[in-house]
Amino acid sequence: MNEVKLFLGPQHPGMHGNYSVHMYVDGDIINKSRPTPGFLHRGFEKLMERRLWMGNLALIPRICVPEPDINEMVYAMGVEALAGIDVPEKAHWIRMLVLELARIAVHTMSLGFIGGPTGMYTATYWAIAQRDLILDLFEELSGARIYHMYIIPGGVRKDLPDGFAGHVLEKMAELETKLPEFGELILKHPVIHARAKDNIMLPAEVVWELGVTGVGMRSATGLANDLRKVKPYARYDEVEFEVPVAVYSDALTRLNLKFREIYQSISIVRQVLEKMPADGPVNVPVSPGNALRWTVPAGMVYAAVESSRGEYGYFIVSDGREKPYRIAVRGASYPQGLLGIEKYLKGYRIDDASLWMDTMGVCSPEIDR
């Protein structure tokens, strides 16, 4: 049979986001695949050089749409390292709260998005409605559902609103009652097992070769390689949590790890609310003067956080002026989304291509930037 060229994306229901994979298939088997990024390329790294240090706050969340907070966090961490700022204690805890809520939201969503490639839309419908309740929390906290622009260099933008802790705990309790249902519907489903078990493998060698991080790395190597543990930021060294790991990385294992991480995040959220100082400032200015003239001392620094997909980093260069000199973004899904697709998508069936994209955690906006 002849080799046929197929486009998986950019407009294909199996593709999350605006991304494209060109596949050469023989029958149902993919012989060769080429990632084609750039559909979401906006030239962020250039635009950031043209905005004020504070003005970039509006830009950065848009680099990773499903989980914007990590951008804010990593940018803030970088700027703080350059400027030598000590963030107020309370801000650290609020940041952790935001990051963990975001992690819950994005894991819940990715749990539901398994419904896309496998066709179990009920799971998608449930999960996204569930995630929406967390977006309500974000709206209460920061004034926006998706782009919170809440974590700023120097701290967080505003203090928690009244009664917020109570609302968070309520939603967490509700989520905990609903999660087992997701487990029943998705993780125990025989057809999901048929699709995901022993499929879409990620061996440990490939992890090291590509530089895959996050759930992918932990599911394959059995190492608790989580930046929150290995190189703690904020106050992650003061909360107790486990990093779920596995040594056999198929799609189902990765799904299970995400599911267990949700529980860990819920536990972190509870600890954060318990241990957070009641009072105190929530931010300090980056430098004297108003935000139009904030400057950051010259220097180069790389800051990284653990996103839901792995190590997410910014390399920030300042020349001491009111705008960054250069910012380079390391998208967490860069290794698997480009080289991974080129090298390791082949051999799978067309049916698995979108499942591959989904469970490997490929997020197109952060690759394209």
Partner 1 sequence: MNAMNFVYGFLVLVAVFIFQTTLTGINRKVTARLQKRYGARWYQQFLDIFKAMRKDSTSHGWVFDFGVIMALGGIMATVIFIPVAGFEAFPGLDNVFVISYLLAVGMLGMAMSAAGSGNPWASIGVARALTNMLAYDIPLMIVIFTMIFAFDSASVGELAAMQQGMGVLGWNAVRMPLGGIVAVIALLGMLGKKPFDSFIAPAEIASGPMVEYGGKHLGFMFILHEFMTFIEVSLILNLFFGGGATIWEYMLKYAVLYTFTTIISGVMPRFKIDQAVKYFYRVPLAMAVVQGLVVIFTGLGVKIWF
Partner 2 sequence: MNSMNSMISDIKAALSPLETSEPAFRQIAAVVKPDGIHGALAYLKNKGFTQLCILTCIDWIEDSQFELVYILFSWTDGIHIQLRARIDREKPFFTTVTDIFPGARYYEREVHEFFGVEFCGNEDLYKPLFLELWDDIPPLRKDFDPQAYSDSKFPMRENANEFLSMTGGGDDE
Partner 3 sequence: MNKQKSIFSPVKAWKYLLRKPVTVLKKDIFDNPRESSPRYRGFHQNDWDKCLGCGTCSRICPTNAITMVQVDTLEDKEGYKKERPAFDYGRCSFCALCVDICPSDSLNMSREYLHLSKQAESFYFLPDSRGIHGDTRDRGYVRDDDSELLDLNRYEMELEPVDRKKSFIEIVRGFSLEKALAESARCVECGICTEACPAHMNIPEYIKSVWEDDMKGAVGYLYKTNPLANVCGRICTHKCEGVCALGKRGEAISIRWLKRFIVDNTPMDDYEEAALSYVTEKVDGKVAVVGSGPSGLSCAYYLRTLGYEVDVYEEKALPGGVIRYGGPEYRLPEESVLKDIGIIEKSGVHFITGTKVGRDVSLEELRDRYDAVFLGTGFSLSRQLRIPGYEHSDVKYAIPFLGQTRDYLRGLADMPDIMEKVVVIGGGNVAFDVGRTLIRLQQRKYGTDHVSIAALEHRGILPCDKEELEEGGEEGLKGHFGYGPDEIIITDGKIIGLRVKKVISIFDADRKFNPSYDESDSFVIEAGQVYIATGQMPEYEYFSEEMKSMITIERGQVKVGAHGQFENFPWLFAGGDIVQGPDIITGVANGHDAADGIDEYLRSRKK
Q: Which residues are at the interface with partner 3 (CB under 8 A)?
A: 51-52, 54-59, 122, 129, 136, 139-144, 147, 149, 156-159, 161, 181, 183-185, 187-190, 192-193, 197, 246, 252-253, 256, 281-283, 285, 287-295
Q: Which residues pair with 30 in a beta bridge?
A: 25
Contacts 24+ apart (CB under 8 A), 3-11: 3/31, 6/350, 8/353, 8/354, 8/357, 9/36, 10/36, 10/39
Q: Which residues pair with 21 in a beta bridge?
A: 8, 35
Asked if 235 and 206 touch (Cβ cutoff 8 Å), the reply is: no
Count CB neighbours of 229 within 10 A. 14
Tell me: does residue 208 bind partner 1 (CB under 8 A). no
Q: What are phi and psi of 84, to 5 degrees?
A: 65, 40
SS3 state of residue 313: strand
Interacting residues of 167 by C-beta distance below 8 A, sequence separation 6+: 137, 140
Size of the site for partner 1 (CB under 8 A): 31
Tell me: does residue 10 bind partner 2 (CB under 8 A). no
Least Å distance, CB 72 to partner 3, is: 11
180-219 binders of partner 2 (CB under 8 A) = 208-211, 213
Quick one: 262 or 362, whose CB is closer to partner 3? Answer: 262
Give the strand pairing for 20-26 and 29-36: antiparallel
Amino acid identity, position 325: Y
Tell me: does residue 352 bind partner 1 (CB under 8 A). yes
Task: Tell the residue number behind the tokens 């790395």, with chain if given.
Answer: 217
SS3 state of residue 330: strand
d(CA 364, CA 369): 8
36-65 binders of partner 2 (CB under 8 A) = 37-38, 41, 43, 45-47, 50
Least Å distance, CB 29 to partner 3, is: 26
Asked if 358 and 114 touch (Cβ cutoff 8 Å), the reply is: yes
Asked if 306 and 228 touch (Cβ cutoff 8 Å), the reply is: yes
Quick one: 194 or 230, whose CB is closer to partner 3? Answer: 194
Quick one: 13 or 190, whose CB is closer to partner 3? Answer: 190
Quick one: 93 or 356, whose CB is closer to partner 1? Answer: 356
Tell me: does residue 299 bind partner 2 (CB under 8 A). yes
Q: Which of 70, 104, 187, 304 binds partner 2 (CB under 8 A)?
A: 304
Stretch of 5-13, 231-239, 305-313, 338-346 contacting partner 1, by CB under 8 A: 5-13
172-201 binders of partner 1 (CB under 8 A) = 185, 189, 191-192, 194-195
Helices 89-113 and 69-83: crossing angle, nearest 10°? 150
Tell me: does residue 354 bind partner 1 (CB under 8 A). yes
Measured in whole angstroms, how far is the alpha carbon of residue 362 from the centre of its chain? Answer: 10
Asked if 253 and 219 touch (Cβ cutoff 8 Å), the reply is: yes
Quick one: 169 or 328, whose CB is closer to partner 2? Answer: 328
Helices (H), 143-199: 164-182, 190-196
Least Å distance, CB 150 to partner 3, is: 10
Tell me: does residue 31 bind partner 1 (CB under 8 A). no
Among the listed residues 245, 257, 83, 223, the one whose alpha carbon sits nearest the alpha carbon of residue 154: 83
Quick one: 17 or 335, whose CB is closer to partner 2? Answer: 335
Stretch of 8-16, 260-268, 319-327, 333-341 contacting partner 1, by CB under 8 A: 8-16
Quick one: 124 or 213, whose CB is closer to partner 2? Answer: 213
Site of interaction with partner 2 (CB under 8 A): 37-38, 41, 43, 45-47, 50, 81-82, 208-211, 213, 223, 225, 230-231, 299-304, 311, 313, 315, 317, 325-326, 328, 330, 334-335, 338-339, 368
Site of interaction with partner 1 (CB under 8 A): 4-6, 12-14, 28, 115-123, 125-126, 129, 185, 189, 191-192, 194-195, 349-354
